[in-house]
Amino acid sequence: MNEGVAPSEGRPARRRKPSKSVEELKAEIDARDTAKASAKAAKGPTGAAAMPETQFKPQGKTTTVSSPAQKSQPTAPNYRPGEGRSPKPSSGGKLPTGPKLKVPSGVGKALKVAGKIAGPAAAALDVADERAKGSGWARSLAKGAVVAAGGALGGAAGSVAGPVGSVGGAVGGSMAASKAFDVAAGANAVERKAMATANRQRQAGTAIKGIGGKTTFSQKKPGGPAFMSTGSGSQRKTVQLAKTGVVQRGGKSVAGHLAFKDGKAVYKAGPSAQSLAKTSSNPLERIGRTLFAGAYKKHDAAKAQQALQKARQNDMARQQKLGVKHLPGK
């Protein structure tokens, strides 16, 4: 037998092409890849290049392909994100107003503590001050509460500027609250009495003249009815003195109030209308005279004229009882 298998009759045997070497195969593959890449470059980006979100990761260094709609940031080595850009609006649509005043951490903590205690400290001082002026505990504590509230509100408002603003706001709020309380409450009883006494002591007073002989004055208690006895013999008379009489102040005739000096009755001008900003019993009048003093000028002038007319009538009535003719215009 012959070695091998003889080809079957009627079908010619296929002839194999000689095989290519590895180098030739690699060259053909590279040529096909180069041709495909050239065709794709001519048609436009496809695949990963057409989708910015995808990332192409070749061997070695990784490169991120950003979206064309987004601005890519510079890749300089010293670039810092956010540099050279205008500040972005906050959620409310407003640009930031600027940084707070920076202070050292130790000083900042001290200022925060000072801002918290500034209001209560001012309140305590005002309570002590009111007590020293002669006010009762109710008025003194009420003022302390108002001052403390003003300091708290002022500190809260000033805190937007940092610790320094908190301290300044607390101090300013306390001072404003103290002033507002003084205007609304006015002078206390001790202060009003002291003001009236000082006004009387600055004046010598207008003496009340008798009709001759020995003239004496009597009053059982301060503020009570007062009498004057004058004349001699059958001409001696005793009359009750009115509460007001005409006096001279600044070259003008004004109504004066009855007072006693060295055992003698005199008339002294009362305090000015401006003092009513502190002494008036009406809190609305005290506030109005403090804030709008000019609005009371006509009212004060009319009231002063009324008081002067009443004082003149009192003087005429006294003179008639004593038998003295009253000169017109006096």
Q: Which of residues 124 and 11 earns the better pLDDT score?
A: 124
Number of domains in the chain: 2
162 lies in the same domain as 211: no
Candidate from 60-64, 173-177, 224-228, 237-241 with smallest mean pLDDT: 60-64
Does 126 lie in the same domain as 218?
no
Residue 71, in any domain of the structure = no
Residues 296 and 219 both lie in one domain: yes
pLDDT at 239 over 90: yes
Task: List, in order, residues 6 or more apart from 213 with CB less than 8 Å away.
Answer: 230, 231, 232, 233, 235, 236
Average pLDDT of 283-306? 90
Do 244 and 318 sit in the same domain of this protein? yes
Residue 44 lies in a domain: no
Q: Which domain holds residue 164?
A: 105-185
Same domain, 213 and 249: yes
Q: Last residue of a domain, which of 132, 150, 185?
A: 185
- 269 in the same domain as 226: yes
Give the 3-state DSSP-derived string for 126-185, with helices as H, strands as E and coil as C.
HHHHHHHCCCCHHHHHHHHHHHHHHHHHHHHHHHHHCHHHHHHHHHHHHHHHHHHHHHHH
Q: Which of 138, 158, 185 represents a domain boundary (last residue)?
A: 185
Q: Is the pLDDT of residue 244 over 60?
A: yes
In a domain, 293, yes or no: yes
Q: Is residue 136 part of a domain?
A: yes
